[in-house]
Amino acid sequence: MLLGLTEVLDGDFTAALAEAGRLLDAVGTVVPATTDPVGLRAEIDTGPVETNGAVVEGQVAVSTAPGRIRSVELVPANPTACPDAVRAVDEADQIVLAPGSLYTSVLPVVVVPKIADAVRGAEGVVVQVANLSPQIPETEGLGLADHLRAVLDHGARVDRFLYDPAGTLAPDDDAVRALGADPVAAPVARPHGRAHDPERLAEALRRLC
C-alpha cells in the first residue's frame, strides 16, 4: 500500500505515510527518518580474537550474521533527514528510543546525522526502552548496559534507561549510570514476559515525562 501511495503521490514517501495514516484512521503520526533510498551496512566481529571484522549489507544479512555486531551505518552514509522528523524531535517533551531490533531498527534511525544531532540537542527527555530479552543472533551475548552503549556509540543521547527487572537481560544499574543515564526499573512487560505491555509502558513513560 505504501509503495502504491508513494507512486500516486509523485514519489513523496512522507505524503504517502500521512495518507496511509488518514486511511487507517491512525491516532499518531508516522514520519521517516530519511526520505532518501538507503541500505544498511554492519561491521561484524567474526571470532573471539579482535580482527578487522567482516562487513555485511542488507537488513536481513545484518540481523542474521554470526558474530558480534560492532557498528552499523547507512549507505550512503549521510542521507537527508526528513524535516518533519527533526521538527518532531525538537518539539517533543519526550523522545523514546526503542523497544525494537537494536541494530536493524533503532540504530539505523539514530545514524541519520541530523536525527542524531536533534536527539543530542533536544530539550525533551530522551528515554531508551530496553528490550526484554536477547534477539538471536542480533544481540546475543549483550547485556542491558551494552544496549545503551551501542546507542551512545552511534551518536545519540540517553537521559533515562527504562527496563523491566523481570526481563531475561540482567540489569546493571552501576554500568548504566557510568554511561551517563539514569536507570529506571518498572514492570512494563505483559504477563508472559515476551513483549511489552502498551498500557504499562505508556504509564512508565508518562511518569518520566
* pTM score, whole prediction: 0.89
Give pLDDT tens digits for 71-98. 999 999 899 999 999 999 999 999 999 8
| Dist CA 60 CA 10 (whole Å) | 29
Q: What is the DSSP letter of 51?
A: -
CB 147 within 8 A of CB 131: yes
pLDDT band at 49 (very low <50, low <70, confident <90, very high): very low
Q: In sequence order, what E strands does 31-168 have?
A: 39-45, 54-57, 68-75, 94-97, 125-129, 160-163
pLDDT computed for residue 2 by the predictor: 86
Considering the domain 78-208 in this protein, what is its CATH number?
A: 3.40.50.10680
Average pLDDT over residues 21-36: 90
Look at residues 60, 63, 95, 70 and name the one whose alpha carbon lies nearest to residue 146. Answer: 70
What is the arithmetic mean of pLDDT over 48-65?
Answer: 78
The domain spans of the chain are 1-30, 78-208
Q: 152-201 pLDDT, tens per residue?
A: 999 999 999 999 999 898 889 999 999 999 999 999 999 988 899 999 99
Contact 108, 72 (CB under 8 A): yes
Spatial distance between the Cα atoms of 122 and 158, rounded to a whole number of angstroms: 11
Res 47: pLDDT: 58
Distance CA 102, CA 97 (A): 10
pLDDT in tens, 105-147: 999 999 999 999 999 999 999 999 999 999 999 999 999 999 9
Can you tell me the distance from the alpha carbon of 91 to that of 113, in angstroms, rounded to the nearest whole number? 18
The pLDDT value recorded for residue 146 is: 95
Q: Which of 163, 146, 92 is nearest to 121 (CA)?
A: 92
Which pLDDT band holds residue 46 (cuts at 50, 70, 90)? low
